[in-house]
Amino acid sequence: MANVTLSQGSNSFADDAYQPPRRSPLRWVVLFILTLLLLLTLFPFFLAVINAIKTAADYAVGGPLSLPSSIDFGSLQKFWNVSDFSRKLVNSAIISITVAVFGVLISLFNAYAIGIGRIKGSRIFLVIFLLGIMVPQESIVYPLYYMAKATGLYDTQLAVIIIFAVIQSAFGTYLLSSVLRSFPKEIIEAAEMDGANRWQVLWQVVVPVLRPSLMVVGTFFFIWTWNEFLIPLVMLVSNNNQTVAVAMGLTRGQNMSDPTFSAAASMLGIAPTLLFFLVFQRTLTRGVVVGAVK
């Protein structure tokens, strides 16, 4: 789950400065084919929306492909109530935000020691961190489950928060230390000459410069944690503690005979991420390329 290029430098060449020599009608063919592919990719979302706002009777008449004859929030409401969706949203938000904050903090400390402090064995630390998070979560899930039970953290959001703050930060360390390794040494030395201690250098010199990268890393931590499934599934057994992703996973099979309900469930499961995506689209697709291979 690695491959990260934290290069936020935009391409310096201007796009409009370059005029292609000829404009063939072929361009429309290519655009058409790509548009078709894009529509095919997005078609499932469209289906979810048009069926989520249909009545069951409407569906029975027109099937899944017809546009709704009237807008009805019955199915959405039903799924919202049945799954206690507001609760799930709050749970996911609490877990993901806390993990993002603490994950970024731990990553920052680690990266400060490795990238700027150049402590001995930093390369080995990085390799161990990366190996540790690349291996399948199945290989740690049972001991974690056992430990959580032994410490009374089983079925608490705190357990999930601790686990993911650590796992994500191992990844964040890798990202941020490569950024900090190229941090201009002169700035730090100048601050030290002015009498700033290590802690002050971190917060008054490094963090302000690093802020964009920290935001990017935090954004990814948030969305990865939001999407995590196996460990929350194992750890959070009671309905009141579950996340959106777990609730979705447990919706499977149920009510497949009720198509508008299924559509409403998937629409609500997708909606928060979609919103998030629209807000952070540039960060997610451009600033950083992070392999979310989990």
Partner 1 sequence: MADIGGASTDDKRSYYFYMLPGAIGFVVIVLIPQIANFALSFTSWKGVGVPRLVGWHNYLRLLTDGQFWGSMSHTLLFIISMTIIPVVLGLVLAALLFDYIRDEFGEAVSSLFRAGFYLPQILPVTAAGVLWGWILSPVGVVNTILDAVGLGGMAQNWLGDATFALPAVSFVIVWIQVGYCLVVFMAGLSRVDPALYEAAELDGAGWWHRLVTITIPMLAPEIFVVALTTLIAALKVFAPIFVLTSGGPDNATLVPSYLTYYHFFTTQRVGYAAAIAVVQTILTVVLAVIFLRFQARQESKE
Closest separation between CB of residue 253 and partner 1, Å?
A: 8
**According to the binding rule CB under 8 A, does residue 56 interact with partner 1?**
no
Which residue among 192, 196, 209, 215 contacts partner 1 (CB under 8 A)?
Answer: 192
**According to the binding rule CB under 8 A, does residue 139 interact with partner 1?**
yes
Best CA proximity match to 260, nearest among 89, 88, 61, 38:
61
Binding positions for partner 1, 67-86, rule CB under 8 A: none
**Which burial class, exposed, middle or buried, applies to 189 when counting CB atoms under 10 A from its CB (0-12, 13-18, 19+)?**
exposed
Nearer to partner 1, 241 or 266 (CB): 266
Which residue among 99, 160, 161, 165 contacts partner 1 (CB under 8 A)?
Answer: 165
d(CA 86, CA 225): 18
Which residue among 57, 73, 86, 146 contacts partner 1 (CB under 8 A)?
Answer: 146
Binding positions for partner 1, 253-282, rule CB under 8 A: 253, 256-257, 259, 262-263, 265-266, 269-270, 273-274, 277, 281
Binding positions for partner 1, 90-109, rule CB under 8 A: 105-107, 109
d(CA 155, CA 233): 10
H helices within 119-251, ranges in order? 122-134, 138-151, 157-181, 185-193, 198-200, 207-227, 230-235, 244-251
Binding-site size, partner 1 (CB under 8 A): 111
Which residue among 198, 203, 240, 275 contacts partner 1 (CB under 8 A)?
Answer: 198
Which residue among 75, 241, 251, 283 contacts partner 1 (CB under 8 A)?
Answer: 251
**According to the binding rule CB under 8 A, does residue 119 interact with partner 1?**
yes
Q: What is the DSSP letter of 238?
A: S
Identify how many contiguous H helices and E strands the chain contains and give both numbers. Answer: 13, 2
Which residue among 114, 176, 179, 217 contacts partner 1 (CB under 8 A)?
Answer: 114
**According to the binding rule CB under 8 A, does residue 144 interact with partner 1?**
yes
**According to the binding rule CB under 8 A, does residue 237 interact with partner 1?**
no
CA distances (Å), origin 205, targets 6, 41, 198, 209: 20, 45, 10, 7
Binding positions for partner 1, 168-187, rule CB under 8 A: 169-170, 173, 186
Q: Give me the half-sphere count of Cα atoms (radius 13 Å) on the Cβ side of residue 253.
A: 2
Q: Alpha-carbon Rg of the chain, whole angstroms?
A: 24
157 CB-near residues (< 8 Å, 6+ apart): 91, 94, 95, 236, 241
In this chain, which stretch among 19-27, 67-75, 82-90, 209-217 interacts with partner 1, using CB under 8 A?
19-27
